[in-house]
Amino acid sequence: MIKIFIYLILLIGMAGCASGFLKPEFNRFKSYNLNQIIVTNVGNPMIITQEGLQRKCFEPITILTLKCFGSTERVQPGNCYDIHVLGNGNYEFQFSEVGIEVDKNGFYVGRTTGFGSTCSLTSEKKSKIFNIVDQFIEDDYGNGFRTEILYSGKSSDTIRLLYREFKYDLARPAFYQELTYNLDESKNITFKNFKFTILEATNSYIKFIVDQDIAPSPITIESN
């Protein structure tokens, strides 16, 4: 009963010290610049475009271990966690019964809340514990769009590309198309609204320039 009462006080304190979660914003991304030489190995994307809601989140760079009341909890690298914004401009990570304050570069600053000596944190020192990364997410309507063109290799004078579209469920492609181009006919190729100049192609890599592209189509939000 005492623990529950203390926990309720803690939650109230956490709500008072932070101004709210960092909200995602609509953004467009492309992995290339026009008229610049790009080198890509076989099996890797030549270009990537993406549009949708993008949020900043905490990505642990090490395992964070919190020990409280005899129990142990861990936060693992590879996951992204919500960012709470503090009134002083720093960020807060809410980890079980403890609020951890970090600066905008991901370095540990101190605790915002906690049970004093009853809780211990492995990374309670002035070190970097998070990367602050950008992550595309779906909105409430399932909108989100990503395209990739991958280099699949070369046979004689013919190069092979793979085009993939990701929609809604960004974990797997919703559409893909295999492409072949004979460089003996032309080193300038066009696909959809992209135009490329192929400078060199082998079975290991491709060197090219994106001459032309077009911004991704705008997302349509349905109204209730």
Residue 6 lies in a domain: no
Distant-in-sequence, close-in-space partners of 156: CB < 8 Å, separation ≥ 6: none
Total domain count, the chain: 2
In the chain, which residues have pLDDT < 50? 1-18, 216-224
Query: How confident is the model at residue 12, as a pLDDT?
Result: 37
Residues 53 and 139: beta-carbon distance below 8 Å: yes
Specify whether 129 is located in the same domain as 59: yes
Condensed to tens digits (0 to 9), the pLDDT of residues 199-213 reads 999 999 999 999 998
Specify whether 143 is located in the same domain as 38: yes
Specify whether 151 is located in the same domain as 173: yes
Query: How confident is the model at residue 219, as a pLDDT?
Result: 42
Among 88, 91, 97, which Cα is nearest to 13's?
97
Specify whether 154 is located in the same domain as 197: yes
Residues 130 and 61: beta-carbon distance below 8 Å: yes
Among 13, 177, 209, which Cα is nearest to 111's?
13
Query: How confident is the model at residue 177, as a pLDDT?
Result: 93
Specify whether 94 is located in the same domain as 203: no
Query: How confident is the model at residue 121, as a pLDDT?
Result: 73
Among 38, 35, 31, which Cα is nearest to 205's?
38
Among 21, 24, 80, 82, which Cα is nearest to 52's?
24
Give the H/E segment covering residue 6: helix 2-17
Condensed to tens digits (0 to 9), the pLDDT of residues 2-50 reads 333 333 333 334 444 445 777 777 878 889 999 999 999 999 999 998 8
- Please identify, among 106, 137, 168, the residue that sits at the C-terminal boundary of a domain: 137
Q: Domain range holding 47?
A: 27-53+139-212
Specify whether 150 is located in the same domain as 103: no
Query: How confident is the model at residue 5, as a pLDDT?
Result: 33
Query: How confident is the model at residue 54, as a pLDDT?
Result: 80
Residue 41 lies in a domain: yes
Residue 169 lies in a domain: yes
Query: How confident is the model at residue 181, as a pLDDT?
Result: 97
Beta bridge partners of 135: 55
